[in-house]
Amino acid sequence: MTNFTATGKIMSGKTASTFIAKSTIKASNLDHRRKINFNIGKYNAVVPQGKTQFNDLMAVREHAKNTKWNAVEHLDVMLETFEKNISARGAKVIWAETAEDALKEIGKICKEKNCKTIVKSKSMVTEEIHLNKFLEKQGIESIETDLGEYIQQLDNEPPYHIVTPAMHKSKEDIAKLFAEKLNVPDGLSPQQLTLIAREKLRKKYTEAEIGITGANFIIADTGSISVTENEGNGRLSSGFPKTHIVITGIEKVLPSINDLALFLPLLATFGTGQKLTVYNTIISGPRQKNEIDGPEEMYVILLDNGRTNLLANDKAREALYCIRCGACLNACPVYKNIGGHSYGTTYSGPIGSVITPQLRNLKEWKHLSYASSLCGNCTEVCPVRINLHELLLENRHESVVEGDSPVSERVAWKMWKVASLNRSMMNMANGNLKNKVVNTMFKAWTKHRADLDFSQKTFNQMWKEERGKNS
């Protein structure tokens, strides 16, 4: 199956056709656009305030990029150092090459602990491996404790956004959802809805045998994980249950705990516009002998799941610097029109379009790299200065080199190259011929636009004619 995008590029496979169908519906949904523009507008209003804490923002971003470069270039050493240091404090480190490996290990732990209920704080990695569906099949109740994630779980939807999972919902939508799912009165205020969620979730913390969190950063030199949040649910999920499981991608490593002084405010500012998030927790193992709270056991699952594919690619490797702030999503004109769910993958927006084809299958997911205006706004706002728009182009290039482009597209580009190198052929193909070819063959372009009307003469022809008149 092949489909043309609005730019005339060909996409192949079921994932591409699904993407086109979903994005076409969302792009014409004015109510959806109103909600997204409202919520992103609030983000855009506060981010500049957060940035005022940095005297030289560009220098800060450059330093952050260099720090992540160092961590990724020495990833093997950093991870082994982390494992050694956190293991010395009683944590158990598990290396998972695939999502299936991670789920298998989690299943083993749950079986050993006779687990019936799990409380889970916000984690994109757990969404990546579809943990909740796995636990449901095992007969284990998994409760999302982040308010946004809890809303999405009630609505049986995946997260819409990396940072704000329910960004596409208005307060009226959420009130209606709570009324339907929790049997509470409709039309409640956001404050009332929050108190209801709090009341229901608090009971789960004390009932759960296992708590699961992600990690915003993993610290090599101290053997610690860093969790940053605004609700306190991460602390409760990691501290109340007897067993704490951390699931994190291997790219989250930082060389030193001193790096948090840079990365925590940077993540807060670009993620939510705050100077610092409300709760910033460093966990360096299970409860120690001289401590009165915390889990009895702690497991850290280091997930690869295609990340070493990115690591092996010297050009795409830069994508591993991402700190998951979501700034590129909020800046992207495509994301703001088609929404997070249209992408059909865990990571949406520009960063998702860069890493998904590399983490999964380039041939099947290359269409995401074409779903971009290449305006460069994503690169402009990235706190660690990842050249996102260039990496999108690199994905396109790789797909062509690997032979994933259709024969018709390769022939068309070959003809274009030949014609472009021949002035007489370029002059022949002007005016009516160009109009006929583009407006007849590239229906995807004219489906939502007026027909193109090319000049009847090229500039070269008009120049020659003008010089002839004046000679």
- Mind spelling out the 3-state secondary structure of 313-371? CCCHHHHHHCCCCCHHHHHCHHHHHHCCHHHCCCCCHHHHHHHHHHHCCHHHHCHHHHC
> Which pLDDT score, from 0 to 100, does residue 6 have?
35
| β-pair type (217-219, 224-229) | antiparallel
Residue identified by tokens 């940077």 is 266
DSSP β-bridge partners for residue 421: none
Helical packing angle, 147-154 and 171-182, nearest 10°: 60
What pLDDT sits at residue 347? 96
User: Quick one: tokens of 269?
Assistant: 């500012």
The pLDDT value recorded for residue 1 is 32
H/E element holding 94? strand 92-96
**In the 8-state DSSP scheme, what is residue 421?**
T
Q: For residue 15, what pLDDT is reported?
A: 87
**Phi and psi at residue 179, to the nearest 5°:** -65, -40
What tokens appear for 416 in the block? 């274009």
C-alpha dihedral sign at 385, 127, 284, 205: positive
pLDDT score of 13: 59
The residues with which 92 forms a beta bridge, in sequence order, are 299
Q: What pLDDT is attached to residue 4?
A: 35
Instruction: Tell me the pairing of strands 217-219 and 117-120.
Output: unpaired
CA nearest neighbour of 229 among 179, 268, 200: 268
For position 175, what pLDDT does the model report?
Answer: 96
Residue 221 in 3-state DSSP? coil
pLDDT of residue 471: 60
Q: 12 near 2, Cβ under 8 Å?
A: yes
CB 394 within 8 A of CB 316: yes
Q: Please give the domain boundaries of the chain with CATH numbers for all domains.
A: 2-45+309-401 (1.10.1060), 53-305 (3.40.50.10420), 407-470 (no CATH)
State the greatest distance between any 2 C-alpha atoms of the chain, in Å, as a whole number: 97
Binned average pLDDT, 10 residues per bin, the chain of 471 residues? 37 77 93 94 95 97 98 97 98 98 98 97 96 96 97 96 95 96 94 95 94 98 97 95 98 98 97 96 95 94 96 95 97 95 95 95 92 95 97 94 82 84 81 78 75 85 84 60
Give SS3 for 276.
Answer: coil
Displacement of CA 416 from its chain's centroid (Å): 36
* Predicted pLDDT at 12: 47
Report residue 465 as tokens.
Answer: 């004619």
Residues constituting the chain: 471
